Amino acid sequence: MTAATDTGTGVEPPLGPVVFAYDGSELAKLAIDEAARQLGPGRDAVVLTVWQPFNVGFVPTVALRLNAAEIADVRRAAQETAADGASLAKAAGFNARGAEIEFGPTWKGIVHVAEEHDASLIVLGSHGRTGLAGGTAGKRRRGSSRRTRAARC
């Protein structure tokens, strides 16, 4: 994807940030590294963890007992997960900040944040689930891919 050039000035308009849909899984961490390799350093980024009570949807980055019915606990764990992802993104060369949002379904939260920040790219890693819950990963990816104008990888 190439940026359009302003014909009046010959200057490319600034790109919107990269939004990383981050769940703390190893594949989500690898997605940050791969995006850094392909995009190079200096891009702004929002590392997003989407959550819902009773359906956490991410891997807490600290060893803790998590009661998915306790909204404050889930929010705090999501904040820590997003912050850890932002630290990884910073180490990879992005100007990153973490963000969490309570939203369902997950893909709608990703699209909401991407549009809110006028993102130029959404990076989705696997959320690392298996079994029945893992079967919805493709649906989430397709949902977020179809409903935003940001590029996806």
CATH number of 148's domain:
3.40.50.620
Q: List pLDDT tens digits, range 69-84.
A: 678 888 999 999 999 9
pLDDT band at 96 (very low <50, low <70, confident <90, very high): very high
Which residue, among 51, 50, 34, 42, has the nearest Cα to 17 in the 3D structure? 42
Q: Which domain covers residue 57, as residue numbers?
A: 18-152
Q: Is residue 60 a part of any domain in this protein?
A: yes
In a domain, 44, yes or no: yes
Confidence label for 131 from pLDDT (cuts 50, 70 and 90): very low
- Tens-digit pLDDT profile for residues 13-67: 678 999 999 999 999 999 999 999 999 999 999 999 999 877 666 766 665 566 6
Contact between 110 and 144 (Cβ < 8 Å):
yes
- The pLDDT score that the predictor gives to residue 123 is 97
Q: Where are the beta strands (DSSP E) in the chain?
A: 18-21, 44-51, 95-102, 121-124, 151-152
With pLDDT > 70 as the criterion, what percentage of the chain qualifies?
A: 65
Q: How many domains does the chain have?
A: 1
For residue 8, being part of any structural domain is answered with: no
> Could you tell me which of 107, 112, 110, 93 has the C-alpha nearest to residue 39?
93
Q: pLDDT grade, residue 3 (50/70/90)?
A: very low
65 occurs within a structural domain: yes
pLDDT at 133: 40
Domain membership flag for residue 11: no
CA distance 112 to 133: 22
Asked whether residue 1 is domain-assigned, the answer is no
Q: Does 69 map to a domain?
A: yes
Instruction: Give domain status of residue 29, yes or no.
Output: yes
